[in-house]
Amino acid sequence: MDHTEKWKIDLYLFEEEGATKARAVLDTATTQFTGHGDAHRNPVDPDVPAIGDELAAGRALDDLGRQLLDTARHDIEDIDAVASSGRSARPGAGWPAPDRM
């Protein structure tokens, strides 16, 4: 089965209260997810705005990715819960995500 989707991500970067903030908004046409990230410069480090942008954006996208993985995991659990046979529709309902931190 061929399947093609186009999802749109808008990434917003801004300065607020001495920190670089990022908001990544994913629009799937049926739902919307928003990831958040921020970066704070150590006062002894040089002021390089691009680094703050990269850190904040990366953290916002990481947050967005975690939300998508959580949503997929919940969707798999929901499908398994309603399987007519009373057992999982497929063994091992997906791949476990690696533990982080």
What's residue 62's pLDDT? 98
Whether the predicted pLDDT of 81 surpasses 90: no
Q: pTM score > 0.75 for this model?
A: yes
CB-based contact 77:89 (threshold 8 Å) = no
Fold exhibited by the domain 8-81? Double Stranded RNA Binding Domain (3.30.160)
Side-chain half-sphere CA neighbours of 77 within 13 A: 7
Q: Could you state, in order of their start, the residue ranges of all structural domains in the chain?
A: 8-81
CA distance linking residue 41 with residue 77, whole number of Å: 41
Separation of alpha carbons 79 and 86, rounded Å: 11
In the predicted structure, residue 83 carries a pLDDT above the cut 60: yes
